[in-house]
């Protein structure tokens, strides 16, 4: 077939032909592969040095950059305000040790930041997690904070589905964390769920631990729900499967 030529034909002509499907796969750009390897190597090497300046990037953007074939510009808009500081969150302001673990960012050496910035552009730069003094906090009172989680629960409930759409994957999540989040969002407990601890489902080699059971140890989320929770709470790693079975082959979305 010559797919480079298109022309208008009658309905009868279409019905008289045999249908076929073409599958295309994007080739991984060589420079792109080299960029990923260089960034990983740089981060590993810089960790061994003392006094290295660092920048923070959105964890959501970081995961997308690692797993897409395109070189995406840095996007810190979900964690940085227009003034170039971290978006203020009352909980994080009152507990500085809480910020590193619960703020959805990835800390990278300045050498890595400048490489990514020169390569792809984007921003804004976020050299520290100091909260903006100009922007008002996202929440000013505990009551408002809990209301936002109630709204969050309603949103997640409205987006949840029992079936996947074509080409979608299930995203597995540690059951204990989901239980904590539900209790907090429904005001049953006043304990923040923290980052998603999917790493507890894996061995040191990144393989699923033996004897894990669905619902007991993990559950499946549709993409919209996973992306919403993951972008807000961070954690991971991403565990994507075609079926809700941690021992089934991972899809291309997994880390």
Name the pLDDT band for 115 (thresholds 50, 70, 90): very high
- Does residue 117 sit within a domain? yes
DSSP, res 108? E
pLDDT at 68 over 60: yes
Residues spanned by the domain of 179 = 152-241
pLDDT over 70, % of the chain: 77
On whether residue 47 sits in a domain, the answer given is yes
- Answer yes or no: is 84 within a domain: yes
Residues 35 and 115 reside in one and the same domain: yes
Distance CA 100, CA 195 (A): 11
**Which burial class, exposed, middle or buried, applies to 35 when counting CB atoms under 10 A from its CB (0-12, 13-18, 19+)?**
middle
User: Residue 149 burial by CB count (10 A; 0-12/13-18/19+): exposed, middle or buried?
Assistant: middle
**Quick check: pTM over 0.75?**
no
- Whether residue 63 is predicted with pLDDT greater than 50 in this model: the reply is yes
Rg (CA), the chain: 22
Q: How many domains, in total, are found in the chain?
A: 2
Count CB-CB contacts under 10 A for residue 187: 12
Percentage of the chain lying above the pLDDT 90 cut? 29
| Predicted confidence (pLDDT) at residue 25 exceeds the cutoff of 90 | no
Identify the three-state secondary structure at position 119.
helix
Q: Tell me what pLDDT residue 156 has.
A: 78
Q: What whole-number distance in Å separates Cα of residue 236 and Cα of residue 67?
A: 14
**Euclidean distance between CA atoms 26 and 45, whole angstroms:** 31
Look at residue 20 and tell me whether its pLDDT is greater than 50.
Answer: yes
Within-domain flag for 67: yes
Q: Quick one: pLDDT at residue 136? A: 63
Average of per-residue pLDDT across 240-255: 84
Residue at 199 is within a domain? yes
How big, in percent rounded to 5, are the helix, strand and coil portions of the chain?
Answer: 40, 15, 50
Q: Which of 1-5, 59-63, 128-132, 245-249 has the highest mean pLDDT?
A: 245-249
Res. 14: pLDDT tops 80: yes
| Residue of higher predicted confidence among 216 and 147 | 216
Residue 14 domain-assigned (yes or no): no
pLDDT at 137: 57
Q: Is the pLDDT score of 118 beyond 80?
A: yes
Q: Please report the pLDDT score of residue 97 as a whole number.
A: 43
**Distances in Å between the alpha carbon of 239 and those of 54, 66, 144, 251?**
28, 15, 33, 8
Flag whether pLDDT at 144 surpasses 70.
no
What would the pLDDT profile of 148-184 be if each residue is shown by its tens digit?
555 677 767 767 777 888 888 999 999 999 999 888 8
pLDDT for the residue 44: 92
Strands (E), 138-204: 170-174
Assigned domain for 19 exists: no
CATH code of the domain containing 237: 3.30.2230.10
Among 58-67, 135-144, 151-160, 246-255, the minimum mean pLDDT is found in 135-144
Indicate whether 193 belongs to any domain. Answer: yes
The residues pairing with 214 across neighbouring beta strands, listed in sequence order, are 218
Boundary of a domain, candidates 105, 123, 141: 123
Q: What is the largest CA-CA distance in the chain?
A: 73
Mean pLDDT score of the chain, rounded to an integer? Answer: 79
Q: Does 119 lie in the same domain as 37? A: yes
Split at pLDDT 50, 70, 90, the class of 92 is very low
123, 141, 171 — which closes off a domain? Answer: 123
- Residue 211 DSSP SS3: coil
């Amino acid at each position: 077939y010559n797919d480079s030529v298109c022309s208008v034909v009658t309905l009868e002509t279409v019905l008289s032909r045999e249908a076929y499907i073409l599958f295309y796969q994007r080739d991984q750009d060589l420079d792109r592969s080299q960029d990923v390897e260089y960034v990983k190597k740089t981060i590993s090497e810089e960790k061994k040095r003392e006094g290295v300046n660092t920048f923070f990037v959105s964890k959501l953007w970081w995961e997308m950059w690692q797993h897409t074939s395109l070189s995406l510009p840095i996007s810190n808009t979900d964690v940085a305000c227009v003034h170039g500081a971290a978006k203020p969150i009352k909980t994080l302001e009152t507990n500085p040790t809480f910020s590193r673990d619960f703020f959805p960012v990835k800390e990278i050496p300045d050498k890595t930041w400048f490489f990514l910035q020169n390569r792809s552009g984007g921003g804004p730069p976020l050299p520290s997690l100091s909260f903006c003094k100009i922007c008002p906090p996202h929440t000013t009172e505990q009551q408002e904070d809990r209301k936002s989680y109630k709204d969050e629960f309603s949103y997640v409930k409205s987006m949840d589905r029992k079936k996947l759409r074509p080409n979608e994957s299930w995203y597995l999540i540690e059951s204990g964390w989901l239980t904590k989040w539900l209790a907090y969002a429904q005001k049953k407990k006043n304990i923040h769920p923290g980052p998603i601890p999917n790493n507890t489902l894996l061995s040191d080699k990144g393989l699923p631990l033996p004897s894990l059971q669905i619902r007991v140890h993990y559950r499946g989320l549709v993409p919209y729900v996973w992306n919403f929770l993951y972008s807000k709470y961070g954690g991971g790693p991403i565990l994507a499967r075609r079926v809700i079975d941690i021992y089934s082959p991972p899809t291309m979305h997994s880390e």
